[in-house]
Amino acid sequence: MDETHNPDLKSWIEVNSDSHFPIQNLPFGVFRPISGGDLHVCTIIGDFVIDLSILDSNGFFSNSNLQDTLVFDEPTLNAFMSLGRASWKETRLILSNLFSEDNSELRDSKIRGDVLFHISDVEMVLPVDVGDYTDFYSSKEHATNVGKMFRGEENALMPNWLHLPVAYHGRSSSIVVSGTDIKRPSGQMLTKDSTPSFGSSNRLDFELEMGALVGPGNTLGNTISTQEAENHIFGLVLVNDWSARDIQKWEYQPLGPFLGKSFATSISPWVITLEALEPFRCSGPKQDPKPLPYLNTSGKNSYDINLEVSLQTANSDNTDVICNTNFKHLYWSMTQQLAHHTVNGCNLRTGDLLASGTISGPSSDSYGSLLELSWNGTKPINLSNNEKRTFLDDYDSISITGWCQNDSYRVGFGAVSGQITPSDE
Ligand code: CA
């Protein structure tokens, strides 16, 4: 850790104690002013979005490796992400110095108003051009719960699960930014009398996940080891991997999920860097049996990130928290996922998204999907306005948030939200 993690560091921009964005966070995103203008790369402190492109054109990144790269004058983070960890760290250090409370260079400058935008005056867009999207299945609790429901207690975990991070290739074209409406999908499913039928999904669900975004990739035929993996991860976002359980159940054998998943995946607009998460590093679950050598890791490979899911129905002014869990419950770490993904020589590219899979904790209030919370629809959830839910109704909204907390500050992810709209059927 370095001076950017100093718990006593304060910004000249006011930051409430429960803000997700103190000067120690400095996440990256892409925005445009609501009043109009081009998309630019930005960061945020408190409630103020900071235009890095305007900072760059005014010389605040001169004499750094960022000079003349123009990576902030881009509609996505990809160019910046491809530069690698040294450039990400240098940017963080420059921003941390510029916005610390005793630095008057920008604070008292006449261009300050061109650089800072109140969060209510901007539109945040999908921050990354995602080329390939891989969805893992790395929560032992989630895999066990789903296995129990569909295969019984005895065969809950498949024989490969404890030996490799199971995954499938998802669909990147339907990745959307937080706030995008999610239309209820239609598809083929089995009716109660076991005949196939077509209609709108009656078992629409969310999945609480986190995603790692790839910075520099690897060339075809080469691998990334667990030791090198963190240099290839730009940062993390919140992910809601919307799922139609009835479509999924009928289609998934033998090649895995397809249309039950590919209709939409929502991500949060702010990418939180591994650098910002460093103070919250912790150990993941003990792995038994010991993984094969190429999946070996040492030290602390997880992060202590509180995760919360809330649901609001069309008829309610209240939101109900329906899940509390933590990223640290994930059995397979991001570094193991990356090493496994490339061990056959598959090339990852800048902007690829590696989602964790549904993150469920050990207790029944820490399950990361309605499939588990309602135990396959057999135990409806009671909401504070006396409505019940097994799966999502039209106009229900789901919001997922996440944050790390220490004695001095909170490093948060903001939120990923979405509302269900009716199908065409
Ligand atoms: Ca998933």
State the Cα–Cα distance between residues 166 and 142, nearest whole angstrom: 13
How far does the centroid of ligand 1 lie from the alpha carbon of residue 245, in Å? 11
Superfamily, domain 133-421: Fumarylacetoacetase-like, C-terminal domain (3.90.850.10)
92-127 pLDDT, tens per residue? 999 999 999 999 999 999 999 999 999 999 999 999
Q: Is 425 a residue whose pLDDT tops 80?
A: no
Strands laid side by side in the 48-51 sheet? 116-118, 48-51, 40-45, 29-33, 122-124
Query: Do the two domains 3-124 and 133-421 of this chain adopt the same fold?
Result: no
Place of tokens 């999920």: 257
How far does the centroid of ligand 1 lie from the alpha carbon of residue 135, in Å? 6
Task: Quote the pLDDT of residue 258.
Answer: 97
Q: Is 150 a residue whose pLDDT tops 90?
A: no
| Other residues' Cβ atoms within 10 Å of the Cβ of residue 219 | 8
Active site residue 5: no
Considering the chain, what is the average pLDDT of its residues?
97
How far does the centroid of ligand 1 lie from the alpha carbon of residue 247, in Å? 14
Mean pLDDT, residues 269-297 taken together: 98
List the shell of residues around ion ligand 1, using CB closer than 5 Å.
Answer: 135, 207, 241
**Domain map of the chain by residue range?**
3-124, 133-421
How far does the centroid of ligand 1 lie from the alpha carbon of residue 422, in Å? 22
30, 43 in Cβ contact below 8 A? no
How far does the centroid of ligand 1 lie from the alpha carbon of residue 231, in Å? 25
Catalytic residue among 5, 40, 142, 341: 142
- Going by CATH, does the domain composed of 3-124 fall within 2.40.440.10? no
Q: Residue 75 — pLDDT band, cuts 50, 70, 90? A: very high
Task: Quote the pLDDT of residue 15.
Answer: 98
Q: Residue 332 — pLDDT band, cuts 50, 70, 90? A: very high
- In this structure, what are the phi and psi dihedrals at residue 335, rounded to the nearest 5 degrees? -65, -35
36, 127 in Cβ contact below 8 A? no
State the Cα–Cα distance between residues 63 and 75, nearest whole angstrom: 24
Going from the C-alpha of 20 to that of each of 17, 26, 27, 46, 48, the distances in angstroms are 9, 10, 10, 7, 12
Question: C-alpha angle with apex 49: 48 to 53, nearest 5 degrees?
Answer: 140
Mean pLDDT, residues 240-246 taken together: 98
Q: Is 316 a residue whose pLDDT tops 80?
A: yes
242, 418 in Cβ contact below 8 A? yes
Mean pLDDT, residues 415-425 taken together: 95
State the Cα–Cα distance between residues 358 and 239, nearest whole angstrom: 9
State the Cα–Cα distance between residues 212 and 269, nearest whole angstrom: 13
How far does the centroid of ligand 1 lie from the alpha carbon of residue 61, in Å? 39
3-class secondary structure per residue, the chain? CCHHHCCCCCECCCCCCCCCCCCCCCCEEEEEECCCCCCEEEEEECCEEEEHHHHHHCCCCCCCCCCCCCCCCCCCCHHHHHCCHHHHHHHHHHHHHHHECCCCCCCCCCCHHHHEEEHHHEEECCCCCCCCEEEECCCHHHHHHHHHHHHCHHHCCCCCCCCCCCEEECCCCCEEECCCCEECCEEEEECCCCCEEEEECCCEECEEEEEEEECCCCCCCCCCCCCCHHHHEEEEEEEECCEEHHHHHHHCCCCCCCCCCCCCEEECCCEEEHHHHHHHEECCCCCCCCCCHHHCCCCCCEECCEEEEEEECCCCCCCEEEEEEEHHHCCCCHHHHHHHHHCCCCCCCCCCEEECCCCCCCCCCCCCEHHHHCCCCCCCEECCCCCEECCCCCCCEEEEEEEEECCCCEEEEEEEEEEEECCCC
Q: Residue 374 — pLDDT band, cuts 50, 70, 90? A: very high
